């Protein structure tokens, strides 16, 4: 295969990495908030256990569980391996985000809630105008770390035969081509550089929120 044929296949794989990254981010954020409030509510013990199990077990095992368990136990296999990767990674990252959100919320002094109530603000307005901006600022650095981990973890989808970029590059390496591995590395370094820049930009924009 010539350079352009290899390049096209690698770029096609990278598109899958990006699609997986965006979908997991889209689903894990709201799911993480749900887990967070369940963790802080009446289901605290149950959610603590679930979060402990999901945080403590390898993501690779969770990929295989989502891939095989629905079919073996319930007779409803998930046929799309891309969907398997999306589901497993969304749940996995949601539990990490839940703990990040919980830490941010619990770090806000209760006096700020009380002040909002004294001013006659509704619970919704207190959340949106007083609490949420500070929580976002506090959560942004650890959230950024998870974001950088996520783009790299999309390469784990290859273990269930999702044809992402690293899988394509290792196929070429097995045929004696070494440069696709370095090519792949450059793409991921570039992506993490862009994400790091965007995170720093948002940190600067939120710098006026102190708390």
Rounded Cα distance between 114 and 120, Å, is: 10
Give the model confidence (pLDDT) of 6-46 as tens digits.
Answer: 999 999 999 999 999 999 999 999 999 999 989 988 889 99
**Per the domain annotation, does 211 fall within a domain?**
no
* Cβ-based neighbours of 45, under 8 Å, separated by 6 or more: none
pLDDT attached to residue 175:
87
- Structure confidence at residue 19 (pLDDT): 97
pLDDT at 208: 60
Domain containing residue 27: CATH number:
1.10.3720.10
Is residue 148 packed enough to be buried (19+ CB in 10 Å), middle (13-18) or exposed (0-12)? middle
Q: Confirm whether 56 is domain-assigned.
A: yes
- Considering its fold, how many domains does the chain have in total? 1
pTM of the model: 0.90
Residue 76 belongs to a domain: yes
Domain encompassing residue 33: 3-205
**Nearest in space to 151 (alpha carbons), one of 7, 24, 12, 13:** 24
Tokens 């919980």 sit on residue = 102
Q: Please indicate, yes or no, if residue 210 is contained in any of the structural domains.
A: no
Low-confidence ranges of the chain (pLDDT < 50): 211
């Amino acid at each position: 295969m010539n350079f352009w044929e290899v390049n096209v296949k690698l770029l096609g794989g990278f598109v899958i990495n990006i699609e997986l990254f965006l979908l997991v981010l889209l689903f894990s954020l709201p799911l993480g908030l749900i887990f967070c409030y369940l963790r802080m509510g009446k289901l605290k013990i149950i959610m603590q256990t679930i979060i402990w199990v999901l945080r403590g077990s390898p993501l690779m095992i969770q990929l295989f569980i989502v891939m095989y368990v629905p079919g073996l136990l319930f007779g409803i296999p998930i046929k799309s391996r891309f969907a398997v990767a999306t589901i497993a990674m969304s749940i996995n990252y949601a539990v990490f985000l839940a703990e990040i959100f919980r830490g941010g919320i619990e770090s806000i002094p209760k006096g700020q809630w009380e002040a909002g109530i004294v001013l006659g603000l509704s619970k919704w307005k207190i959340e949106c105008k007083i609490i949420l901006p500070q929580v976002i600022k506090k959560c942004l650095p650890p959230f950024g770390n998870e974001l950088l981990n996520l783009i790299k973890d999309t390469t784990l989808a290859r273990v269930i035969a999702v044809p992402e970029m690293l899988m394509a590059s290792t196929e070429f390496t097995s045929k004696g081509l070494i440069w696709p591995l370095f090519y792949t590395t450059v793409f991921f370094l570039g992506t993490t550089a862009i994400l790091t820049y965007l995170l720093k930009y948002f940190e600067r924009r939120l710098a006026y929120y102190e708390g």
